[in-house]
Amino acid sequence: MPTGVALRDVREQLFAAADRILLRAGPSALTSRAVTTEAGVAKGVLHKHFTDFDDFLAAFVLDRVHQMAPQALALRSLAGSGTVSSNVTEALMAVFGSVAVAIVALVTFRDELRARLRETWPAGVPVLTEAAGMLSAYLAAERSLGRVPRSADPDGLAAMLIGTAHLLFADRTGPPPTRDAVERAVALVLG
């Protein structure tokens, strides 16, 4: 990249490059050089915007968590329509069909990243805890409509659904689970 050429949305350009690397090759392939090469920018560009690579990774993870907000609103708006099982299945397919599984591996893989995330994210793996919160809010809304039993614990169900889906999607090397497989697992948890 020639000196003096302005980059537009450089943070998102770098984050999108990190997404592609994580999805293609996993967390061990995610290096500052790989990110800048994938983004088509000079290595110094990353260090101009972030204090170090772990600062970049923490910002990347938190950005991906914040991108779940529209999905959470969309899921919540489905309360009372369709079937609960189908709505939860679609939400899980969207979360785990994204870079979420690779982010879980990335956070597990890098001690310094976990330490950085703890500065702003108190517990859990950010993508998974945000997804669990999204599901819990949706299930609580469905419970208030009588479509989920009053005795159900939305937080507990959400945690079980996230754990179950993570197990289904965890193998990045094989094909992802089918929608039917995810919906069967959802029905078992919700049943």
What was the pLDDT predicted at 2? 45
- pTM equals 0.84
Which carries the bigger pLDDT value, residue 36 or residue 114? 36
Q: What does the buried/exposed string (b/e) look like for 111-134 if buried means 16 or more CB atoms within 10 Å of the residue's CB?
A: eebbebbeeebeeebbbbbbbbbb
Q: Is 80 left (phi over 0), alpha (psi -120 to 50) or beta?
A: left
Q: pLDDT > 70: what percent of the chain?
A: 95
Across the chain, what does the average pLDDT equal? 90
CATH 1.10.10.60 residue ranges for the chain: 1-49
Gap between the Cα atoms of 37 and 156, Å rounded:
42
Q: pLDDT > 90: what percent of the chain?
A: 62
What was the pLDDT predicted at 43? 86
Please, what is the end-to-end C-alpha distance for the chain in angstroms? Answer: 56
Helix, strand, or coil (residue 188) = helix
What was the pLDDT predicted at 5? 44
What was the pLDDT predicted at 97? 80
What was the pLDDT predicted at 80? 97
Tens digit of each residue's pLDDT (9 = 90 or more) over 8-58: 689 999 999 999 999 898 889 999 999 999 999 998 999 999 999 999 999
Q: Mean per-residue pLDDT for 134-138?
A: 97
Which carries the bigger pLDDT value, residue 138 or residue 66? 138
What kind and span of H or E run contains 110? Answer: none
What was the pLDDT predicted at 1? 42
Q: Mean per-residue pLDDT for 161-189?
A: 91
CATH 1.10.357 residue ranges for the chain: 62-190
What was the pLDDT predicted at 8? 61
What was the pLDDT predicted at 153? 98
Say whether pLDDT at 90 is over 90.
yes
In CATH, the architecture of 62-190 is Orthogonal Bundle (1.10)
Fold of the CATH domain 1-49:
Arc Repressor Mutant, subunit A (1.10.10)
Say whether pLDDT at 168 is over 90.
yes
